[in-house]
Structure 1
């Protein structure tokens, strides 16, 4: 369903009953359906109402195709030189979108859970609206501090490449290649399941320029978000894989170090995807943490 949040149209999925709300925020270029259904149902079975949304400029939410185009390589160079990255919107704007989703659904407060870029947005939600944040869970994400390690060179190069063709078969192969590079070595790679998941996502929406604009928003937040993390007062759990080639584990450790009282948990064999085994590992940490936060 569509809601008006922060003045724009945001696509939302609302699952579960009357229990405490868990707001799930997905990462760069990923739609709300990227949260695997077994993961969502694991939260629902534990008594939680789960709300997911497509971030702006992706999926079925409002696009920003009318924004001024920026050259991604040039803005990346500006970032390396310590100059500000020019983005059409910011991660703070996206955090306000997420808070707007809670407003639209008349939700007083929620557990804010984000993966990758979604973790960055979740951090900003927790810093901006402490009264709306029951707890914060930041998964495979980063504080955005300067000097932290970046992606492995081959992963960074793959992110900057474009598919050779726009037909579905080519786009599936292009996406599958990237997914393989960031897949968790701790669990088997299910190629058929990943192909199907990618194809379903492409048929729902394919917004490559939105991905570029989201990348610019991440770059524009570098060196800024880390300064607000000490303001977070909500109970915080930081989860990160020890095999992440896209956002190295040092980024998760730095996030936890900057948030007062945050707990950090490293997950062996976990990289930057959500295979079934990783979902189970995440839920094993998350559900007791959420329940303890509710008890408080």
Structure 2
């Protein structure tokens, strides 16, 4: 049976809104969460008051070919959005060969991935990252099921190809200048496709803000001003 896709994840988000009696929300998402936000804003426009999309790429962009070339050591094709950085590709290849037979090995591998996603410019709070990973592992019923989340991000149905030019909600695009997974050109392309979108490139931020001290407060301030 095929894995769930973006529409299914967006339906989950709608169910949460319904459960809380929320007609329209200020939607904030990062990475795949930002792609879910794009989907909602295009296909369920009445549910989205404003959109903040962080560390993302246009939902209709399929990065598979660029990834495949990068993993094979081939150069990118002119005009396409850039693949992950060489250091991130190296991390993925190394991680695939890293043993995960014990709980400690699994925890260490996940912390190394969060460190890589943090980028190599801003400080990385390893203590906070390890605490987060430990809590995630403790509550997970099946760690292997996390791969379904990744598969959902890679699944490209026709609904993902709907033009972002249809977005009417006020949109803020937040992107890190040191994002190793989606280099800044992805954020620029996303903002360019959404009418009136504002792009904020944060110096030194990687693919996520969670474990760089002080960065989450700065992003929260941006979101508060945007939604106001």
Q: Give yes or no for TM over 0.5.
A: yes
Q: Is the 8 A contact 2:28 2:37 kept in 1?
A: yes
Whether 2:178 is the aligned partner of 1:243: answer yes
* Structure 2: runs of 5+ lacking an equivalent: 63-79
Whether 2:48 is the aligned partner of 1:133: answer yes
* RMSD of aligned residue pairs (Cα, Å): 2.2
Match of 1:289 in 2: 226
Measure how far apart 1:211 and its partner are.
2.8
Q: Helix, strand or coil for the counterpart of 2:27?
A: strand
Match of 2:73 in 1: none
Partner Cα distance (2:113, 2:39) in 1: 27
Report the TM-score, using the length of structure 2 for normalisation: 0.82
* Aligned ranges 1:208-287 → 2 under 5 Å: 208-221=143-156, 225-273=160-208, 274=210, 275-287=212-224
Partner Cα distance (2:121, 2:217) in 1: 12
Whether 2:39 is the aligned partner of 1:102: answer no
Whether 2:39 is the aligned partner of 1:124: answer yes
Partner Cα distance (2:191, 2:134) in 1: 35
Provide the aligned length of Structure 1 versus Structure 2: 206
Match of 1:155 in 2: 88
Q: Is the 8 A contact 2:31 2:55 kept in 1?
A: yes
Q: Is the 8 A contact 1:240 1:270 kept in 2?
A: yes
Q: 1:206 to 1:184 in 2, by over 3 A?
A: farther
Q: Helix, strand or coil for the counterpart of 1:221?
A: coil
Partner Cα distance (1:139, 1:121) in 2: 11
Question: 1:250-285: per-residue Cα shift (whole Å, max 9, x none)?
Answer: 111111111111111100010023223220221221
Partner Cα distance (1:254, 1:105) in 2: 34
Hey, which of these two has a bigger chunk of strand by percent? Answer: 1
Q: Is the 8 A contact 2:45 2:169 kept in 1?
A: yes
Q: 1:219 to 1:283 in 2, by over 3 A?
A: same
Measure how far apart 1:213 and its partner are.
2.1
Q: Is the 8 A contact 1:111 1:290 kept in 2?
A: yes
Hey, which of these two has a bigger chunk of helix by percent? Answer: 2
Partner Cα distance (1:265, 1:209) in 2: 35
Match of 2:125 in 1: 190
Q: 1:224 to 1:259 in 2, by over 3 A?
A: same
Partner Cα distance (2:113, 2:129) in 1: 11
Higher RCO, 1 or 2 (CA under 8 Å, sep at least 6)? 2
Measure how far apart 1:166 and its partner are.
4.2
* Structure 1: runs of 5+ lacking an equivalent: 1-67, 69-86, 292-296
Partner Cα distance (1:136, 1:287) in 2: 12
Partner Cα distance (1:182, 1:109) in 2: 31
Q: Is the 8 A contact 2:29 2:35 kept in 1?
A: yes
Q: 1:166 to 1:98 in 2, by over 3 A?
A: farther
Show structure 1 runs of 4+ deviating over 6 A: none
Q: 1:187 to 1:222 in 2, by over 3 A?
A: farther
